[in-house]
Structure 1
Amino acid sequence: MAQDRLGLFDTPPSRAETRLSIAIVGLLFASLAVILPLQDIRLREVDAFIPIIDAILFVSELITAALLYAQAAVFRSRALTILATSFVLAALLLIPHLLTFPGSFAPEGLLGAGVNTTAWLFTIRRAALPLAVIAYVYLRQADVSSPPWTERQPERIIPWLLGAAAVATAITLLTTVGHDLLPPFYTNNVDRVQHYASLYHFIVFAFYAGATIVLLNKRNSVLDMWLLVALFGWLFQSLLNVVIPARFTVGWYGLFTLMLVSNLIVMLALIAETGWLYSRLALSTAVQRRERQARLMSMDAVTAAIAHEVGQPLTAVTLNASAGLNSLTGPEPDVEKAIQALRAVSDSGKRTFDVVRSIRAMFAKGAHEETEFDLNDLVRETASLMDREMAVKKVSVELALNDALPMIKADRVQMQRVLVNLFSNAIDSLRIGRGRPRRIAIRSALSDGKGILLEVSDTGTGIEPDVLQHIFEPFFSTKAAGRGLGLPLCRTIVEEHGGRLWASPGEEFGAIFHLQLPRRRQ
């Protein structure tokens, strides 16, 4: 299966990272410019210098290799595996370099070292890195250009580690046992054979220049950017190495210091970038998990909303159908009542279809279907639709509608859903109240030049103050069988139309729901 990618291997660098890398290359170049004029000056021999430098380089290159092997294992990349192995090889060659360096552990070095052993170890070590970068670039291009359905086998790291150890052992044997087979590098432990040494280091410089050009042309990721920083640092070191006449000069000490700084920069950059990328991955995973839970909750909300909204007209269909059936099957069939009941069934069926379509539109993206209509007419129509239910429950309606109201532009079906919900809640609140008239009052008026105000009040049980602030919250309900979605959906619809919906206690008892709509949508 194709591998999903998210890492140093394929993440492009940001502008800030690019600017930082350019600044680091500039500092390395400035260091080279400072060292070059002073490179011939002889300094005191410090025997602990090479052990310290080699130990730090050994640890940093192994850490870099471990980070690259981790990326290679995740993305099954041969390119990253080869690059990581080159750092392992470079780290392993530091061990014989340290042991054979004159003065570190013995005046002439250990392992039967000759005068040129350490120089050749370090030169071969330095030449291996740019060759590995070139191989990395071209193998990475092959990975990227492979078809997305191509399945790549996971890289086995152990054979590569064993291979690096075998190559390091062979190079060590070549530079120690086969010392006399190699061309001269030094005349003694300090002074170089300059024309030979300059030639060897110029060849290494050419390798680094070629690797830098190849990577510059093919760069596209954070890893490429920091490899370029390292290559520029190593390029400057190779240039300095061409002109250094001997060990223990300003140029020689500066060379190893520059090398240490370059390697530490790459290691720290890779650690920081890896930590940052995987932190983003963890955050992205957490966000996806929350989004998945939110989608599941939304699906529950949609399902409950459909059951809540469609249940009302379907209940009317059932009641009217039963009434029509009773009118036809009774001892004295009443055809006129049956016709009225069937018409009510038809109207409720149409309203059910409109409600379903409206719910679908509300949860879909895009603009709602808006028309201009008279809100007073919609109130009267809704009261007529609820008339049979109110008659059964002995609820009266008082309409105080201002006929001077302007037309409004809104989704008519959705606004009717709001009114039906407000009617239904008022009717439910009147079930419990006793000793007072069961009445719903609806008043419409202009609202201080801001639009139209519609108030639906009842003489029911009212709403407790501690409950009033929660009634528009999803899934909050004071009814035993309530789902707590009617009022939140109503508020959502009203707010989508640029209005407001809120509730307040009635003057004596009951509750008042205030619906404010703009004269014209903004």
Structure 2
Amino acid sequence: MPEPSHEDQLLLATLPPSKGQIRLALGVVAVLLLALVLTIPFTNVQLARADAFIPALQTGIVFTDLVTSALLFSQFSITRSRAILVLANGFLFTALVVISHVLTFPGAFAPTGLLGAGLQTAAWLYVFWHAGPPLVVISYVLLKDTEKSTAKSESSPAASIGWSVGLVISVAWALTWVAIEADRFLPPMMLNNIETNRIVTLTTGGSVALLNATALALLWFRRRSVLDLWLLVMCCAWLAETVVTANVAGRFTFGFYASRLYAFVAVFSVLLVLLSETMTLYSNLVYSALKRRSNSEGRQIAMDAMAASIAHEVSQPIGAMSFNGEAALMLLAQTPPNLEEARAALEAIVSDGIRAATVIASLRAMFKRNTPQRVSFDVNDLLQEVLKLVDSDLWSHKVTVSLELRGPLPQLRADRVQLQQVLLNLFTNAIEAMQPVTDRARLLRIKSDFIQDHSGVLITIEDTGTGIDFKDKDRIFEPFVSTKLRGTGIGLAICKSIVEAHGGHLRASANHPHGAVFHVALPESE
């Protein structure tokens, strides 16, 4: 099976299912199978007639089908996949036929049904309703495989959706008319408003069940996405429904009511997964955007810190050169005349030194951030927010998190983005420090507490990684000093400068028996 592209992993129609989703789907199928086994012995037990049952249940089915159809049309507008277009129209077709069925069902809105319905109308609409979806699923599977070697729809999504919806409405109207005229030229499925013609219902039920089994088999062997997985569940529910319906002797039996519930489970399962996966993808998108913004802020802060470090390290010798050059000029002016070349060289040293200092100061001003935007916030909320940003890293590195948050803590008044960057850097460092560990648990322990006199907040980040050498304990906060193979040596220096700019301090110590501990102390808002 080819690896899905990055774009595919953002679309429900192509997103591969996780092991948890597969287990959930299998669990639903197992429950459906158990329900079928329990239903069959009581299929023809006659129950009380409830005329409101059909309108109430089928209104839910219509709503579910229409929402599912709308979600699939939105998927088509992105993928331009004809297979998705067919599937979306299949759910629309079901909704339209269900509307006709409930309007013509005897006793739902009129004793013999509306729209001029006859004795056989509702029964044949039920057959059309249940024969359509498996045919649509079969078409979906075959088209999906064909699209690998042929171009996808080149017409605009709006035009494709428009003509296909028009076609589906025409087909649904035509089948409704056929069902209304069924008393004249279709085999009778009902002997009266209650009893069924067993021979015809067994024949039609068996045919629909065969279609469902075919759709189920095709999906099983060609399943690839989350959508395929839950279409499998839907086919299983349809198959259970048609098996029960084919054996029902009349309306308002136990099997009659149970089969309608299978129909609702069939369509609701797909809608539920579409909605839940859409919310999950949206949530991931939000956290991805937050992480991207945080990285952007981090790069800006890094440039500021780097410019500050360069200015600090280079301006000192250049400033000294300028001072010494000026002193030399003064001394030379008090002595007998000296060579003009010497004076010119000294003047050049002074001029170049001032110029170099000016250039470095200009670079720092160019990269310097605007005045920090300080706001009041709860540090526990910030810790949980940053943990979500590194959730995928924690999972991929198999790191367990222990969160020990003290509350309520004093409010901090600080630049939230800058402190978010500090915590993100410390969490990432801790995760990377535990990557080589194989002989013990990888544990990231995060604590928040009061400073002893309640004058601020103390954040503690502990890991069980490789730890810090004693000789490096203080040096790791210096610019361009790193203990990592590919480290730049600027991250912890930036963190220290940010924390100190907020009136706090950042220090490191050894974690016993393994790893390191970083302590971030911050004063409360005034």
TM-score range (shorter-chain normalised) is 0.5 to 0.7
**Distance between the aligned counterparts of 1:294 and 1:152, measured in 2?**
44
> Following TM superposition, by how much is the alpha carbon of 1:145 offset from its aligned partner in structure 2, in angstroms?
5.6
| Cα distance, 1:301–1:163 mapped onto 2, change above 3 Å | farther
**TM-score (structure 2 length as normaliser):** 0.60
In structure 1, distance between residues paired with 2:150 and 2:310: 48
User: In structure 2, what residue type is equivalent to 1:332?
Assistant: N
Q: Residue type matched to 2:119 in 1?
A: V
CA shift at 1:194, angstroms?
1.9
Q: What whole-Å deviation, never above 9, does each CA across 1:388-429 have from its counterpart, x for those lacking one?
A: xxxxxxxxxxxxxxxxxxxxxxxxxxxxxxxxxxxxxxxxxx
| 8 A contact 2:205–2:246 mirrored in 1 | yes
**Partner deviation per Cα, 1:310-342 (whole Å, 9 max, x = no partner):** 445566777889999999999434999999999
Matches within 5 A, 1:144-159: 153-156=156-159, 157-159=161-163
Displacement, 1:83? 1.1
SS in 2 for 1:245: coil
In structure 2, the CA distance between the partners of 1:75 and 1:288, relative to structure 1 (3 Å rule), is farther
CA distance in 2, matches of 1:286, 1:147: 36
**Structure-2 residue corresponding to 1:292:** 296
Structure 1 residue 119, shift from structure 2 partner: 1.4
Distance 1:133 1:322, change over 3 A: farther
Classify 1:323/1:488 alpha carbon distance in 2 versus 1 (closer, same or farther; 3 Å): farther
Among 239, 244, 247, which residue is 2:243 paired with?
239
Which one is further off, 187-196 or 249-258?
187-196
Alignment of 1:84-99 (within 5 A): 84-99=88-103
Amino acid at match of 2:251: R
* Distance of 1:107 and 1:35 partners within structure 2: 29
Aligned to 2:338: 332
- 2:481 equivalent in structure 1: 493
Distance in 2 (CA, whole Å) between partners of 1:276 and 1:452 is 43
CA contact (8 A) 1:72 1:155 kept: no
Corresponding residue to 2:110 among 88, 94, 106: 106
Distance 2:62 2:154 in 1: 35
Counterpart amino acid of residue 89 in structure 1: F
Distance 1:261 1:302, change over 3 A: same
Matches of 2:297 and 2:231 in 1, distance apart? Answer: 41
Aligned-partner Cα distance in 2 for 1:56–1:147: 37
Secondary structure (helix, strand or coil) at the match of 2:111 reads: coil
Q: Show the counterpart of 2:46.
A: 42
CA distance in 1, matches of 2:482, 2:244: 75
Equivalent-residue separation in structure 2 for 1:247 and 1:451 (angstroms): 85
* 8 A contact 2:101–2:122 mirrored in 1: yes
Aligned counterparts of 1:323 and 1:234: Cα–Cα separation in 2: 96
Task: Please list, as runs of the form range in 1=range in 2, the aligned pairs for 1:155-194 lying within 5 A after superposition.
Answer: 155-156=158-159, 157-177=161-181, 179-194=183-198
> Is the partner of 2:157 in helix, strand or coil?
coil
- Cα contact 2:124–2:182 (8 A) shared by 1: no
Structure with bigger gyration radius: 1
State how far apart, in whole Å, the 2-side matches of 1:489 and 1:81 are: 58
How many Å apart are 1:171 and its aligned residue? 0.9
Counterpart Cα distance in 2 of 1:295 and 1:145: 44
> Which residue does the alignment assign to 1:129?
133
CA distance in 2, matches of 1:450, 1:336: 50
In structure 2, the residue corresponding to 1:44 is in which secondary structure? coil
Identity %: 34
Render the CA deviation track for 1:458-485: whole Å, top value 9, x for unaligned.
xxxxxxxxxxxxxxxxxxxxxxxxxxxx
* Structure 2 Cα separation of the partners of residues 163 and 241 of structure 1: 29
The answer to whether the 8 A contact 2:17-2:226 is kept is yes
Is 1:270 matched up with 2:269? no
State the secondary structure of the residue aligned to 2:478.
helix
Partner of 2:441: none
1: distance between equivalents of 2:473 and 2:107? Answer: 95
Structure 2 alignment gaps of length 5 or more: 350-468, 497-506, 510-515, 517-526
Give runs of aligned pairs for residues 6-405 of structure 1, distance below 5 A: 6-143=10-147, 153-156=156-159, 157-177=161-181, 179-312=183-316, 331-333=337-339
Distance (whole Å) between structure 2 residues aligned to residue 4 and residue 145 of structure 1: 19
Output one character per residue of 1:328-364: Cα deviation in whole Å (capped at 9) or x when no partner: 9994349999999999xxxxxxxxxxxxxxxxxxxxx
Q: Alpha carbons of 1:11 and 1:107: their partners in 2 closer, same or farther (altered >3 Å)?
A: same
Distance 1:166 1:152, change over 3 A: closer
Q: Do 2:120 and 2:182's aligned partners in 1 also have CA atoms closer than 8 Å?
A: no
In the alignment, residue 103 of structure 1 is paired with which amino acid?
G
SS in 2 for 1:493: coil
Shift of 1:123: 0.9
Partner of 2:422: none
TM-score after normalising by structure 1: 0.60
Contact 1:77–1:155 (Cα < 8 Å) also in 2: no
Contact persistence 1:328–1:338 (CA under 8 A)? no
Evaluate the alpha carbon distance shift between residue 308 and residue 332 of structure 1 in structure 2; reply closer, same or farther with a 3 A threshold: same
CA contact (8 A) 2:476 2:482 kept: no
Post-superposition offset of 1:56: 1.6
Distance 1:41 1:295, change over 3 A: same
| Aligned Cα root-mean-square deviation (Å) | 4.4
Output the amino acid matched with 1:219: R
Preserved CA contact (<8 Å) 1:327 1:335: no
User: Compared with structure 1, are the counterparts of its residues 23 and 451 closer, same or farther at alpha carbon in structure 2 (3 Å cutoff)?
Assistant: closer
The one-letter amino acid of 1:154's match is P
Cα deviation per residue 1:108-142 (whole Å; 9 max; x = unaligned)?
22222222211111111111111212222233345
One-letter amino acid of the counterpart of residue 130, structure 2: R
Offset of residue 488 of structure 1: 9.3
AA partner of residue 293 (structure 2): R
Tell me which residue corresponds to 2:423: none
Quote the Cα distance in structure 2 between the aligned partners of 1:129 and 1:328. Answer: 100
Query: Which residue identity lines up with residue 63 of structure 2 in the other structure?
Result: V
Shift of 1:234: 0.7
Distance 2:147 2:290 in 1: 30
TM-fit CA distance, 1:81 = 2.2
